[in-house]
Amino acid sequence: MNLIRWWFFLVPWGFLFSEEPCLDACLWSKEVRRNALKQIDLVISGWIPFSARSFSFFTEAPVPLETKNFVSLQQFSEQYGFLSCVHPLVGVVTSESIDSRRVEEAFASLYASSYKTWGHVACGELLAKALAYRALSPGFVLSLPVFSLKSVEKVDYIVDEVLDLWMGMPAFGLIPLHGKAEPLLLFRGTDCSFFSSKAAASILSDLDVTGIGLSTFRLAQPLIHAWLDKALQLTGKKAQVQGFSLGGALALYTVLFEGDLVADKGSMAFNAPGLFQEVWEKFDKPFLTQISLYATQGDLVSKMGRIVFPSFVLSTDEHLSLLEAHTRLMFATEPLYLQEIAGEEENKHRFID
């Protein structure tokens, strides 16, 4: 069981990645990368069948979500998804500044969407799975959609600070320049490039036996606390925290340990692992209202640890492979369904420490 649990993180994905810009068609290096990843994915998915990566639900019938109007997200996913042979941006670190603008453009159809509730979650997924992997520097300004019950507003955010969590592993503190929007603290997920100390720190954080990312969080907690307090002083509002995978775990720890400085709602974690024993026992089956937790049906990473309540699963008609389930931009998928996880029952069938 432990071998299965960690094997995914030990695969040396980095040698398959490239940061060469290619805008219109597949380059051979990206095609080689994609084919190699698909072969690895096929093998691992055969070892760990879809049934072992599925979740327990309160109800059998999923709720269908309207995503067909999210055209710019669908186009972005086709060209820049994790398994793209054009220029992968989802879950892949790149250094080109233009890539941040490409993510920014992907929000376009969300501004016109009349489906405000899920537009908010779609925005969070793109922030966590794509924007957090960009080379954002202090002073960089970008426009993001901010949703209310009746409208969506385009708000300019400035990158106020890049927090060095450990060995260059970043979190991005964003401050709104106008409007009633809340600050954002955006945690990056696993960096599998293997070409830098921050990538190594990311991988080591995944292998933390006390809890995925927990030691990194504890080391960086004073920095995280200081920025959350700074954001509150600058704006008069508490920050939302967001992240994907390892970044989702860091967002979850921030809500648990620094909840007094986190907004009452709006924080999100995607495809994040659950809590290991030490934190689970400290908070005694935590039920969190400040953060929404979203997994994908078939995602192995989200099956690790004890699940926090309430949590939800996004699914489609396909039985997604292991890599697809972890990295796919789900709000670019049609059809898309939502179900709430039956937490107590689910925690009886988990990959737990």
More confident residue, 69 or 312: 312
Distance CA 343, CA 320 (A): 22
More confident residue, 248 or 13: 248
The pLDDT value given to residue 28: 72
Indicate the pTM of the whole model.
0.89
Q: Which phi and psi (to 5°) does residue 175 adopt?
A: -115, 130
Got the DSSP string for 46-62? HHS-GGGG---BS-SSP
The predicted model gives 183-192 an average pLDDT of 91
pLDDT band at 300 (very low <50, low <70, confident <90, very high): very high
Q: Find how far residue 205's CA is from the centre of its chain.
A: 15
Residue 295 has pLDDT above 60, yes or no: yes
Between the alpha carbon of residue 352 and those of residues 14, 263, 291, 293, 348, the distances in Å are 27, 30, 22, 18, 9
User: Virtual CA dihedral for 317, 323, 327, 328, nearest 10 degrees?
Assistant: -30
HSE on the CB side for 29, CA within 13 Å? Answer: 10
Got the DSSP string for 89-146? -TT-----THHHHHHHHTTHHHHH-S-HHHHHHHHHHHHHHTGGGS---TT-EEEEEE
pLDDT tens digits for range 117-129 = 788 999 999 999 9
Distance CA 111, CA 153 (A): 7
DSSP 189: -
Residue 7 has pLDDT above 70, yes or no: no
Q: Beta 184-187 vs 169-176: how paired, if at all?
A: antiparallel
Query: What single letter denotes the amino acid at residue 339?
Result: Q
